Structure 1
Amino acid sequence: MSELHLPVGIETCSMETAESVAGVLAEDVARFLKRRLDQAREATLVVSGGSTPLPFFRALREKHLDWARVKVVLADERWVPESDPASNTALVKQHLLQGRAGAAQFVSLMQPGPDPVSALPAMDAAAGTLPLPLDVVVLGMGNDGHAASLFPDAPELSDAMDSAGTRKVAVMTPPSQAQVRVTLTMPVLARARFTALHLKGESKLDTLSRAADNPADWKAMPVRAFLKPGLKVYWSP
């Protein structure tokens, strides 16, 4: 990672194993949440789905925190029922909201409705229960440069990335994906007090390097909107 030319103000942490990186990330997140709980009535934690965060979830869930005062929400979700293997909600409930972290408050982006567009007002209202700015956001990144469900080929990308937008949730229909997605919008995610980018694998370093070459062009690689001072990148091979 030392060879990456990241924008000034971005920190990095790289270790030999995914478990080691997950442990450091869990320590950093727990420390930040504890500080926030010392200052505020509650704290917010935004996490991402997929396989990369699983060791992080297992490490974080045993941290000594006043979990009952922590609100947990996904950065994005596929529009599928919780019983579907593709459900990130099920993943978080199974791997993070266990043990001590079982006392946390889970705020679901998924709300009842025949389709995501119909459910969007309810999803936006659910996200509206989160105090802003968010406290901790842990993002992943795809090899196409997407973060959360901010996909470069989604026709709704410009609206979801609009820094002046008032929507907290967007419905995304990228042709590259099998399912419709719902996601917290860029301004909600990007203004968090602490943002981590959690990556695994050499291909993700290549993607990050490409993103850092032209950080202003977020339309091509939406993750570029998060490459700014205060970000910390956690990576393992």
Structure 2
Amino acid sequence: MNRTVEVLPDQAALIQRSLELTLSKIHTAINDRGLCTIALSGGSTPKPLYEAIATQQLPWDKIHVFWGDERYVPPENPDSNQLMARRAWLDRVDIPAENIHPIPTDEADPAVAAHKYEQHLQEFFQTKNGEFPALDLNLLGMGDDGHTASLFPHTEALHVRDRLITVGSKDGQHRITFTVPTINHSRCVMFIVAGANKRSALAQVFAPVADDFTYPARLVQPQGELWWLLSQDAGQELKLNNN
């Protein structure tokens, strides 16, 4: 596995390094394939990264933005990952509306919404049933329980291997999420993790042996690059081996 782990001294350094890598992946994808596809994560940690991206001069018409997961709330709801990304980044740049690909949350049945987003991905990436798209960059966070995207410990979503998108759940609330194989087909996956409250889960995620379904971030083993960018307070106790 092509895994690289970096522990950054503080939050500012974590965001700066995340920005450098994100910009590098954007430019590489555009140079190689003519466009860049990015899947965004929610939560508070990536917000300053999105704000920093919004200050850049980039070929916005060549960048397509997706989401790796979404809470099942209307897009104007304060809990919406889409709303956070729009306010921090997308509404502040001249990206074409058709380049923004939010997860639908307007169906009575979230399984229908998951299927609609899967169909949208298949149409955009021109993949057939059973095939998975290769996003250029998949941004992920990790919760203090070891979850990533909306793949929570010991939930049914962790076992889905034949679909791109599925319904996740947390505390009885529905989420829409990339499946494990969709994440793992990415050309580059970048975890951005901050906070001392993540230390215990990180120790299990990086342990040689642990339960993947108790710590779902362990299931992220992409075919492309895997970056773990950690703040000092999160990663200081890890015994790291980047090989």
TM-score of the superposition, structure 1-length normalised? 0.85
* Farther-moved stretch of structure 1 (37-46 vs 224-233): 224-233
1:97 aligns with 2:93: no
Residue in 2 that maps onto 1:198: 192
1:12 deviates by: 2.0
| Counterpart mapping for 1:20-39 below 5 A | 20-39=13-32
Does structure 2 conserve the Cα–Cα contact (< 8 Å) formed by 1:77 and 1:109? yes
Does structure 1 conserve the Cα–Cα contact (< 8 Å) formed by 2:73 and 2:105? no
Residues 1:183 and 1:53: Cα distance change in structure 2 (over 3 Å): same
For structure 1, the 5+ residue unaligned runs are 1-7
Residue in 1 that maps onto 2:65: 72
Query: C-alpha distance in 1, partners of 2:197/2:221?
Result: 18
1:142 aligns with 2:143: yes
Does structure 2 conserve the Cα–Cα contact (< 8 Å) formed by 1:111 and 1:122? no
Does structure 2 conserve the Cα–Cα contact (< 8 Å) formed by 1:27 and 1:60? no
Query: C-alpha distance in 2, partners of 1:204/1:33?
Result: 28
SS where residue 138 of structure 1 aligns?
strand
Which one of 30, 48, 57 corresponds to residue 50 of structure 2?
57
1:19 aligns with 2:12: yes
Per-residue Cα deviation, 1:50-101 (whole angstroms, up to 9, x for no partner): 1110111111222232111111111100110112211111111111214336
- Identity over the aligned pairs, expressed in percent? 26
Residue in 2 that maps onto 1:207: 201
Residue in 1 that maps onto 2:158: 157
Does structure 2 conserve the Cα–Cα contact (< 8 Å) formed by 1:45 and 1:135? yes
| Counterpart mapping for 1:109-124 below 5 A | 109-110=103-104, 112-124=106-118
Does structure 2 conserve the Cα–Cα contact (< 8 Å) formed by 1:111 and 1:123? no
Per-residue Cα deviation, 1:174-223 (whole angstroms, up to 9, x for no partner): 4xx35200001111111211111100012223311111214563212110
Does structure 1 conserve the Cα–Cα contact (< 8 Å) formed by 2:158 and 2:179? no
Query: C-alpha distance in 1, partners of 2:173/2:190?
Result: 26
1:39 deviates by: 1.6
Paired positions, count: 223
1:41 deviates by: 2.9
Query: C-alpha distance in 1, partners of 2:36/2:90?
Result: 15
Query: C-alpha distance in 2, partners of 1:214/1:12?
Result: 15
One-letter code aligned to 2:71: R
Q: Where has structure 1 moved over 3 Å in runs of 4 or more? A: 98-104, 214-217
Does structure 2 conserve the Cα–Cα contact (< 8 Å) formed by 1:199 and 1:235? yes
RMSD of aligned Cα (Å): 2.1
Per-residue Cα deviation, 1:120-144 (whole angstroms, up to 9, x for no partner): 3212112224432110011001111
Residue in 1 that maps onto 2:181: 187
One-letter code aligned to 2:138: V
TM-score of the superposition, structure 2-length normalised? 0.83
SS where residue 213 of structure 1 aligns?
coil
Residue in 1 that maps onto 2:229: 234
Query: C-alpha distance in 2, partners of 1:173/1:221?
Result: 15
SS where residue 22 of structure 1 aligns?
helix
1:13 deviates by: 2.2
Which one of 168, 173, 183 corresponds to residue 169 of structure 2?
173
Does structure 2 conserve the Cα–Cα contact (< 8 Å) formed by 1:215 and 1:225? no
SS where residue 94 of structure 1 aligns?
helix
